[in-house]
Amino acid sequence: MTLQEVKNRFDIVGNSASLNLAIETAMKVAPTEMTVLIQGESGVGKESFSKIIHQLSNRKHGPFIAINCGALPEGTINSELFGHEKGSFTGASEARKGYFETVSGGTIFLDEIGELPADTQARLLRILESGEFIKVGSSKPLHTDVRVVAATNKDLYQLASKGKFREDLYYRLSTVPIRVPALRERGSDIHLLFRKFAMMFSEKYKNEPLNLEAEAVQVLLNCKWEGNVRQLKNIVEQMSVLETNREISAEVMRKYLPQESYLPVPVPGGAHSESTGGMSERDIFYKILFDVKNDLHELKNVVSNMIQGNLAPEMYAAPKNYVPNDGGNFPQAGGNFTNNFIRNNPKNETIIHIDEAPKEEVKLSLEDQEKEIIKRALLKHKGRRNRAAKELGISERTLYRKIKNYGFEDLEA
């Protein structure tokens, strides 16, 4: 599986070097049985990397469970993870299996592992070394076959040096470390993610997608994004619901950010570039689909205004090189637009023909929009796949697959 295929499968948008390195490392380590430690700030999407490792491993058909260690009460965490025997503590009315027993043969993702109590760390170390564990209230060792993927937003090495985390457990967990970059380190990926979320919430709330003015993009790129992707997603959803004007200015953008968050901070090279150089196929499609959806909404509004006669009369003035096909006068605002307008040229070529007003709002899914873009490219280049692929910014192999999926074989030369 290629890097781009992994991004598509796990819905990862972006093409920064640090993000690609993290994904490639996860892909390489996935087929092994090595323990992995995923490091990164809160909200960067560490759980997605645990799923990549599980789904690309030999355990992909086994169970997978994600546990937030910081959310488990210290008094019951050992029971949750390793199970307990009946009567082992007050309220233990029956025996219970823990996660390490029920997930045997699969993968367990331990998020916020730096929050584990000292005694739980000792139990986990024994599992990593021998695969053995003991239920709470029992003296009988049990065996489990579980792959552990851990994650933390803390510096475990510093915690270990201060005696707040077991040093031997740290080295056992970090057999292969993967660092997921913070959002502020990902440059132009930030704007791509904004567009992705804008389109997603446009579909969800049935309104037009948000569009950032140039100055608002700079505010977006210069934000510290301490909450990372999670913070960006929440802000885009708020704006999608609350803002009536879909063109977002820098002033509006700042309203949704904490006061200290939009101070200028260094942005990696290339962060302000809007070119498609180095962008992945998925990123290019998000950009194209975003622009197409905006065009559809603008076209809908123009046609609606024409039908209702809301445009100024001068907008209907006949061009000098046009004559109506019936020899009469051009209609005024609010008039009948079912005429055929014919260019006054030797071929007498028909240019516009509007038979009737659109009766319903244009609503296309992302798949429909992608399908329409590919169809237009094929028609434009008369079915020449290599030229269409070049204009779309995707590989010819990818285009061929989509032609097969959408049944466009008849459009090829």
Please answer whether residues 348 and 324 qualify as being in contact, where contact means their C-beta atoms are separated by less than 8 angstroms: no
Over residues 309-358, the pLDDT tens digits come to: 554 444 444 444 545 544 444 444 444 444 444 444 444 444 444 444 44
Total Cβ atoms within 10 A of residue 399: 21
CATH number of 184-278: 1.10.8.60
Residue 115: CA count within 13 A, CB half-sphere? 16
Q: Rounded to the nearest 10 degrees, what angle do helices 385-392 and 396-406 cross at?
A: 100
CATH number of 364-411: 1.10.10
Q: What does the pLDDT read at residue 108?
A: 97
Residue limits of CATH 3.40.50.300 in the chain:
17-180
Question: How far is residue 134's CA from residue 153's CA, in Å, rounded to a whole number?
Answer: 29
Residue limits of CATH 1.10.8.60 in the chain:
184-278
Please answer whether residues 9 and 51 qualify as being in contact, where contact means their C-beta atoms are separated by less than 8 angstroms: no
| Residues sharing a CB contact under 8 Å with residue 315, sequence separation 6 or more, in sequence order | 333
Q: What does the pLDDT read at residue 381?
A: 82
CATH level 2 (architecture), domain 17-180: 3-Layer(aba) Sandwich (3.40)
Question: How far is residue 287's CA from residue 367's CA, in Å, rounded to a whole number?
Answer: 14
Over residues 231-250, the pLDDT tens digits come to: 999 999 999 999 999 999 99
Please answer whether residues 229 and 44 qualify as being in contact, where contact means their C-beta atoms are separated by less than 8 angstroms: yes
- pTM, full prediction: 0.64
* Nearest partner of 263 among 222, 220, 217, judged by Cα: 222
Q: What does the pLDDT read at residue 290?
A: 58
Total Cβ atoms within 10 A of residue 119: 11
φ and ψ at residue 267, rounded to 5 degrees: -110, 135
| Residues sharing a CB contact under 8 Å with residue 43, sequence separation 6 or more, in sequence order | 183, 227, 228, 229, 230, 231
Residue limits of CATH 1.10.10 in the chain:
364-411
In this structure, the chain runs to a length of 413
Over residues 85-144, the pLDDT tens digits come to: 988 888 888 999 999 999 999 999 999 999 999 999 999 999 999 999 999 999 999 999
Question: How far is residue 117's CA from residue 412's CA, in Å, rounded to a whole number?
Answer: 64
Total Cβ atoms within 10 A of residue 394: 21
DSSP 8-state class, residue 144: -
Please answer whether residues 153 and 42 qualify as being in contact, where contact means their C-beta atoms are separated by less than 8 angstroms: yes
DSSP H or E run through 83: strand 83-84
